[in-house]
Amino acid sequence: MRTADLLKPSPGLRVLISGAATGIGAAIAQAFLEVGSNVYICDIDPAAVDKAKTDNPQLHVGVADVADREQVDRIVDDAHAKLGGLDILINNAGIAGPTGAVEDMDADQWDRTITTNLNSQYYFLRKAVPVLKKTSSDPCIIAMSSVAGRLGYPYRTPYASTKWAIVGLVKSLAIELGPNNVRVNAILPGVVEGERMNRVISARADALGVSFDTMKGEYLEKISLRRMVTVQDIAALTLFLASPAGRNISGQAISVDGNVEYL
């Protein structure tokens, strides 16, 4: 096999992606469709799921709140049935969580962030890992963390806590599942262009009493390349990790962030 051929994911991969009706997840789904994969997405927003299905009729879709274990179980069962098995699990779903000083933070918002961003990944893993082991010859798990999973992030403590925890989860699972030929990696996006990042910047600007433009400029100054990354940058890395070129990459936390120096 030529080295260049290693970069092409195998045709017909069966891929389950959470939180994938919009944003990074949608870009990942589109990328896998473009290389001939069979893709199942879920999302909490029924309207966004309907639009994703309309835009890409070949998608398999489901609606679920990933913070609810029973709903996740239903999604994995449905994906297993409709795809005939699983080769790739991409734990992408997550929320920004609250912004503010820890002593002022609402406990329910803290709990919701932990459950949605971290516990949901466990819910998918406990249900999907047996399917991956049984139905795939080259299973791969990709967990979405964040640059906030390698740096401290003041005023975003619940979010950062979940993203650090995801890295620990991935590194532990890579050891646990390696003997079963399951590769497990985390992707750590930086400042990603789009509506969600604009909301994050606005919330932090409000918390610190500065303008949106000032806050956005401060974010860019923290990036060595002085630019945001795109959802396509993240999607391209998922394809690489799922391809034969990624067959010996496991237990890694890979940043795609233009080298964010601090938060």
Q: Which residues are catalytically annotated?
A: 159
* Number of neighbouring beta carbons within 10 Å of residue 222: 18
- Assess contact for 147 and 263: CB atoms under 8 A: yes
Q: What distance in Å separates the CA atoms of residue 158 and residue 112, rounded to the nearest whole number?
A: 9
Q: What distance in Å separates the CA atoms of residue 247 and residue 102, rounded to the nearest whole number?
A: 41
- Assess contact for 59 and 53: CB atoms under 8 A: yes
Nearest alpha carbon to residue 247 among 97, 116, 87:
87
Token pair of 259 as six digits: 């080298």
Strands 140-144 and 183-189: parallel
- Assess contact for 186 and 252: CB atoms under 8 A: yes
Nearest alpha carbon to residue 159 among 193, 198, 115:
115
* Number of neighbouring beta carbons within 10 Å of residue 180: 10
- Assess contact for 188 and 254: CB atoms under 8 A: yes
Burial class (CB in 10 A: 0-12, 13-18, 19+), 248: exposed
